[in-house]
Structure 1
Amino acid sequence: MTDALTRAREILTEFPVVDGHNDLPWALREQVTYDIDARDIAADQSAHLHTDLARLRSGGVGAQFWSVYVRTDLTGDAAVSATLEQIDCVDQLIARYPDDLRAALTAVDMEAARAEGRIASLKGAEGGHSINNSLATLRALYALGVRYMTLTHNDNIAWADSATDEPGVGGLSAFGREVVREMNREGMLVDLSHVAASTMRAALDTSTAPVIFSHSSARAVCDHPRNIPDDVLERLPGNGGVAMVTFVPKFVLQAAVDWTAAADDNLRAHGFHHLDSSPEAMKLHRAFEEATPRPVATVSTVADHLDHMREVAGVDHLGIGGDYDGTAFTPDGLDDVSGYPNLIAELLTRGWSRADLAKLTWSNAVRVLGDAEDVARDLQAKRGPSNATLEQLDG
């Protein structure tokens, strides 16, 4: 394994990781109300965060989609404002650390950052509630650098069903399909993590550009609704999209699913949101874990998902989306953003080639953004922006 780890680090030097989802901006909001002096990621933040610059470098990260997530209990204009604050946080980080981070809006920008030895920094909105049913707001987010939008988070919205809510509109409503078309026209990637399988299928039926799953794993390996069914994975070659495997134990290890449900219930019983990562919530988590030891995922657990996803979708349609700083627990060996070489080493021992791994870590994600840009140019030459409303299309 030592030799494999050395080879993994060599591969990542040339083909660094494009990670599809990191929740550092929300962690900064929750922990220090965006006081980035108090969480200076140029210093060691391992006591507080999964992410800092030294560990990003050690992990071989070359591009990061920073999530500009807001919780679904923020709705309407409050959700839009909070999303803008998240965007501002990312912009502040890029401005503060110019030697390490480079703003990226395009696939060309990503390659330029790699050539410069900087980490391409992109933004991804997590949940359609961030646009408050407004295509103009969607376009404004694109203008501010948002390059994907996850159609839902954990709860349904008026025009799309979530994986972890009861069916509402049967996947996508008419307005939901118009959102997908407008994202195609803008060049914003349609992200299908968090959405119901019916929404995945409806989006694939509608989108003329490649889609992504910014942080999802294989449902056939771990039967959780956040994961991707095989019939959807089978459609990725025809669409050109990319599924970015996530590391969250409750999505990759079947034994962790039941344990997590009990841990979430414990948080709620004490008055906390089940996604709360504040020190008080984490203290409760640790006490629960001491009383009820949690099942432990490993690097091998995640590699099992990638092996399956490669078999079903093909190596040209895979990527990585760790969900660091958005999960209370991580697999052994993937404890923080420095852990990616361990996963690449594990895949090397399983027979993945250098060319396969270059696609997984770098090339697939860069290609999918570039392909979405090509589709957008064609669509913009044919039609102007849509001003349709939820009321017009859904009644």
Structure 2
Amino acid sequence: MADLQDDLHPATEIGRLDGAPGGTEPYPAEADAVPPETCRPVPDPDDTPLTRARAVLAAHPVADGYSGLPWALRRLPWYDLGLGESAVDADVPRLRRGRVGAVFWSLHLPEGAHGDRAVGAALDLLDLAKGVIAAHDEDLRPARTAGQVTDVRNCGRVAVLFGPAGAAALGDSLGVLRSLHALGLRVLTLAGTSWAGDAGLTRFGEEVVREMNRIGTIADLSYASDRTIRRVLTVSRTPVLFSRSAALALRPHPANLPDELLTEAGAAGALCLVPLSAEQTGPTVRDVADHLDHVRTLAGPECVGLSGTYDTGGAHPQELGDTSCYPRLIAELLRRGWDESDVALLTWGNVQRVLRGADFFARAAQQRRPPSTATIADLDG
């Protein structure tokens, strides 16, 4: 994969970051209203790093790799994300305050869902997500490509991408994969199926990865087995990501990655999105920064990003209680000596790189290869 990745992403492109048009901040001034309660109690003895953090995020906002908002909204009889919604972590005012420019909405499947039930659940969540965006179109816009994400951000909206969804959402059908992609799905988690499990990818699993490459769906390897991760890194011709994985050496968790896999992922150009989760990274903002330091050291500055994991039901570190608090994390990194260019890659540029690589390869592959008609019975039966 490495030689093809060099062609897809020359060094000058990897380092290229998208700034706000004309150097102005892409968010309306009224978005900076009153700080939310989750951030107000935290004193900042030296405001300079926080001021610098907000300046960096104004030009290079956060691309949040994992949000459970669609699933969280299912239980609410009524909500208004535009005015503010206390029942969730990521309403529009807090997204604005946190300088979030793009977010991936997870299509979380019910526990144990398989076959038709899993497919139906994914379609229901896609329909709900599209309805939420339509009801808040002054603030949220759907996006499918790197270019669309940048366009939405430059218009002062938050770009919403659909995914990851669990692999069970395919119902073991490549036709369903293509249909979900046509409806907007952009990330698929390769774990928990007969063809992507503890034993690694089966022949059908490898065909799924090739078809994902062909249409532009990105593989998510969080919670995948080590064998599956290594095989996908070999088979995939486009960058993959880990939607919510931190460093196992710093904190044990099933989704966290050992040092050797972080090194291999970095060599393959993968993107590790570190979650703002107390369970996975620790109880403080400094713990999250420790994981970001560790991943950056092993995988490289081009291979680390952020995953809020907000509205997933889990606890978050102190000072990072909702999406409005991203500037505090960036301020901590600046205190540690991170260059602003590395912060810009972390927040925005690295996600754009992965999206751009998937789009570029898919356009070329669709001219060379027809849709796959393989079935699981053909390859694994």
What is the identity, as a one-letter code, of the residue corresponding to 2:59? E
**Paired position in structure 1 for 2:304:** 318
Separation (CA, whole Å) in 2 of partners of 1:331 and 1:69: 22
**Paired position in structure 1 for 2:90:** 51
Separation (CA, whole Å) in 1 of partners of 2:190 and 2:346: 24
Q: Deviations over 1:351-392 (max 9, x none)?
A: 001100000000110111011111112221211111111111
Separation (CA, whole Å) in 1 of partners of 2:313 and 2:206: 30
Separation (CA, whole Å) in 2 of partners of 1:236 and 1:64: 22
Q: Deviations over 1:271-301 (max 9, x none)?
A: xxxxxxxxxxxxxxxxxxxxxxxxxx11101
Q: Deviations over 1:295-333 (max 9, x none)?
A: xx1110100000000100110111111111113311101
Identical positions, percent: 45
SS at match of 1:50: coil
Separation (CA, whole Å) in 2 of partners of 1:367 and 1:102: 20
**Paired position in structure 2 for 1:118:** 157
SS at match of 1:339: helix
What is the identity, as a one-letter code, of the residue corresponding to 2:123? L
Separation (CA, whole Å) in 1 of partners of 2:340 and 2:135: 35
- 1:42 pairs with 52, 69, 82, which one? 82
Q: Do structure 1's residue 87 and structure 2's residue 126 form an aligned pair?
A: yes
SS at match of 2:291: helix
**Paired position in structure 1 for 2:214:** 185
Separation (CA, whole Å) in 1 of partners of 2:314 and 2:337: 31
Structural RMSD (CA): 1.2
The alpha-carbon deviation at position 346 of structure 1 amounts to: 0.4
Q: Tell me the TM-score normalized by structure 2.
A: 0.86
Moved more, 193-202 or 126-135: 193-202
1:209–1:239 contact (8 Å) kept in structure 2: no
Q: Do structure 1's residue 3 and structure 2's residue 32 form an aligned pair?
A: no
- 2:340 pairs with 346, 350, 354, which one? 354
SS at match of 1:215: coil
Separation (CA, whole Å) in 1 of partners of 2:295 and 2:47: 26
Q: Deviations over 1:98-148 (max 9, x none)?
A: 111111111000110121111111100321001110000001111011111
Unaligned runs of 5+ in 2: 1-45
2:110–2:121 contact (8 Å) kept in structure 1: no
The alpha-carbon deviation at position 72 of structure 1 amounts to: 3.5
Q: Do structure 1's residue 16 and structure 2's residue 61 form an aligned pair?
A: yes
The alpha-carbon deviation at position 3 of structure 1 amounts to: 1.1
**Paired position in structure 2 for 1:174:** 203
Q: Tell me the TM-score normalized by structure 1.
A: 0.83
The alpha-carbon deviation at position 71 of structure 1 amounts to: 2.1
User: What pairs up with 1:74-223 in 2 under 5 angstroms?
Assistant: 74-152=113-191, 156-161=192-197, 167=198, 170-223=199-252
Q: Where has structure 1 moved over 3 Å in runs of 4 or more? A: none
What is the identity, as a one-letter code, of the residue corresponding to 1:394? D
1:55–1:338 contact (8 Å) kept in structure 2: yes
The alpha-carbon deviation at position 43 of structure 1 amounts to: 2.8
1:126–1:151 contact (8 Å) kept in structure 2: no
User: What pairs up with 1:227-246 in 2 under 5 angstroms?
Assistant: 227-246=256-275
1:19–1:64 contact (8 Å) kept in structure 2: yes
SS at match of 1:208: coil
- 2:277 pairs with 248, 251, 271, which one? 248
The alpha-carbon deviation at position 336 of structure 1 amounts to: 0.8
Q: Do structure 1's residue 379 and structure 2's residue 378 form an aligned pair?
A: no
2:164–2:220 contact (8 Å) kept in structure 1: no
Unaligned runs of 5+ in 1: 162-166, 254-296
1:196–1:225 contact (8 Å) kept in structure 2: no
